[in-house]
Amino acid sequence: MSLEKLPLNFLVWWPVLAFLVVICLPRDRAPSHYRGWALALSVPPVFVSLYLVALFAQAGWGAKAGEPFTVFAPWFAVGQLSVTYALFVDGLSLPLIALTTVLTTLVILYSNITDRAREYYALFLLLEVGMLGTFLAVDFFLFYVYWEISLVPMYFIIGIWGGSNREYAAIKFFLYTLVGSVAMLLAFIWIYLVVPQKTLLFINDIPGQTSLLAQTAPAVRAFPGLALCAWWGIFLAFAIKVPTWPFHTWLPDAHTEAPTGGSVILAGILLKMGGYGIFRILLPILPEQSYQMRYVLLLMAVVGVVYGAFVAMAQQDLKKLIAYSSVNHMGYVMMGIASAAAVLYPGATGPQIEAAKTATAGAIYQMFAHGLLTSGLFLLVGVIYDRTHTRDLQMFGGLGQNLPEYAGYFRLFVFGSLGLPGLAGFVAEFLVFMGCFSSDQPGEGIFRMGSVIAGLGIVVTAAFLLWTIQRVLLGPLNPRWARLPDIELRERIPLLVLGVLSLVFGLLPNLLLGSMNSYLQDLPTYLPAEATRPPISGRR
């Protein structure tokens, strides 16, 4: 194996080794012993992911930048079925890979679990296996294996170390995700059966290998009803994970009951696996069906933005408030996805394609920015809960007087989440709205109307987040919290890293936007050239 093939193999196998090392440590050690081992073993993937980022940036983030690192080898074959061990990285997946490695390390550093600490830290390393594998695998069988691996550790993290209602939340999370996974599996089995050249690869970037991308759209045209069912099967799995309205109802329970570290990874990474799957798999493989469902996607997005904001405003539990704010913020990702789907028809106009690229860039940026900002907010909830053992907003007030450092971080991440210019969230939301507003076909105004309605969500988001600052930090201090200690080192480092990254990517957006160029250029090519179906509206 050449040295160029090592980085991707390292990213998926090192966390496996780290998990085995930690889980095999003796039982009778102090919790800090297990955390120290897990922390040390979580650091090497951070450096490998940053090494890849540096090499990609040096290569200009071109479409061919990831080719030297691509791993492809036969795994097993049964009849016509040939499963490959295929790993690939590009500008769409690499930022999420880097975010995964960084957040895993920060969560382990932050955590202060004393009950069954060995198993707790080992499960986070196993969870990293599933997350990194999902972003790297490009053979559907391998992708599905990693997708399912990520489900199991989070189930146990919620179910063992969660709150008083943890069993219900863990089972609900597991069942929702499993239903979506089964639907996706059935859809892919059908797609595999109808394509002429049997393959499970879903990218075109492996030289000499056939992929599903060019085959699926022509192959499924003879079965329009089944093709739409397949689209819904794949979409269901990813929509549940995003989560988009109305498939979001597992999220508030899972977030509220999960330990702080679980909430951070859930919001920071697991939700992004859904958006990534739609961009990487659903839109390229079933472009015509995605186009047909563009208004459904837009409706889900707009309702998610507005509904999530209003429901968040009604919450008295600080953690549940932030959980519903994730429904609101991931609605912006769905707006970008809807805009991307809107150009997947023959003869899409140049301005419409450029608008869709803008919205898509904003959606991908939003996944990254949300991973930074909402992770910071969940860490802050954990900090205050560890000291007060309550998340009831009515119990707080005036904390800014006694906890100045905590108040500073709280304001930073709240303002970032409401889209303050200079922080990463503003760039993402600006691009999404700018692109979505102009994604209509000539003579139509559905996307424009949806963007205007979603703008109401921004206003409500600002209102409930500012109200949250008022209820937590301002006003008279509750005498019960007069002696609360401010942030300590294990809490300061993760918050500082996330805060600095939010500021850097807010002020220097090209650091991330440059990575998306190759994916954005491929967007209008997903519809095969032989597709001659006119736009549904009949207008051009």
pLDDT tens-digit series, residues 49-67: 999 988 888 877 776 777 7
DSSP-assigned states of every residue in 323-342 = HHHHHHHHHHHHHHHHHHHT
Contacts of 538 (CB under 8 A, 6+ apart): none
Q: What is the pLDDT of residue 379?
A: 93
**More confident position, 400 or 10:** 10
Question: CB–CB of 194/219 below 8 Å?
Answer: yes
Q: Which distant-in-sequence residues (6+ apart) come within 8 Å of 299 by Cβ?
A: 450
Confidence grade of residue 536 (pLDDT, cut at 50, 70, 90): very low
pLDDT of residue 538: 36
Q: Please check the confidence at residue 17 and state whether its pLDDT lies above 50.
A: yes
Q: Find the length of the chain.
A: 540
pLDDT tens sequence across 224-250 = 899 999 999 999 999 998 888 888 888
Q: Which residue, among 338, 312, 287, has the nearest Cα to 449 in the 3D structure?
A: 338
pLDDT at 277: 92
Question: What pLDDT is attached to residue 533?
Answer: 42
Higher confidence at residue 538 or residue 408? 408
User: Nearest-CA neighbor of 143 among 192, 84, 186?
Assistant: 84
For position 63, what pLDDT does the model report?
Answer: 64
Residue 380 confidence (pLDDT) above 50: yes
How far apart are the C-alpha atoms of 423 and 415, rounded to whole Å? 8
CB 338: neighbour CB atoms within 10 A? 28
Residues of the chain above pLDDT 90, percent: 40
pLDDT at position 301, please? 93
CA distance 479 to 499: 30
Any bridge partners for residue 85, and if so which? 73
- Neighbour tally for 255: CB within 10 Å: 26
Report the alpha-carbon distance of residue 351 to residue 404 in Å, rounded.
48
Count of other CB atoms within 10 angstroms of residue 107: 29
Average pLDDT on 138-144 reads: 92
Rounded distance between C-alpha atoms, residue 416 and residue 429, angstroms: 11
Residue 184 pLDDT: 93
Least confident range of 102-111, 281-290, 333-342, 433-442 = 433-442
For 355-368, what is each residue's pLDDT tens digit? 888 999 999 999 99
Say how far apart CA 243 and CA 259 lie, in whole Å: 20
Taking CB atoms within 8 Å and a gap of at least 24, the contacts of 466-472 are 466/414, 466/418, 467/313, 468/318, 468/321, 468/393, 468/414, 469/410, 469/411, 469/414, 471/393, 471/394, 471/396, 471/397, 472/318, 472/384, 472/393, 472/396, 472/397, 472/399, 472/410
The answer to whether the peptide bond before residue 246 is cis (omega within 30 degrees of 0) is: yes
Mean pLDDT over all residues of the chain? 87
Whole-prediction pTM: 0.90
Q: How far apart are CA 336 and CA 357, in angstroms?
A: 9
Rg of the chain's alpha carbons, rounded to an integer? 23
Residue 50: the pLDDT is 93
Please check whether residue 3 is in contact with residue 87, taking contact to mean a CB–CB distance below 8 angstroms. Answer: no
**Which residues, at least 6 apart from 53, have a Cβ–Cβ distance to it below 8 Å?**
94, 95, 98
| DSSP three-state, residue 423 | coil
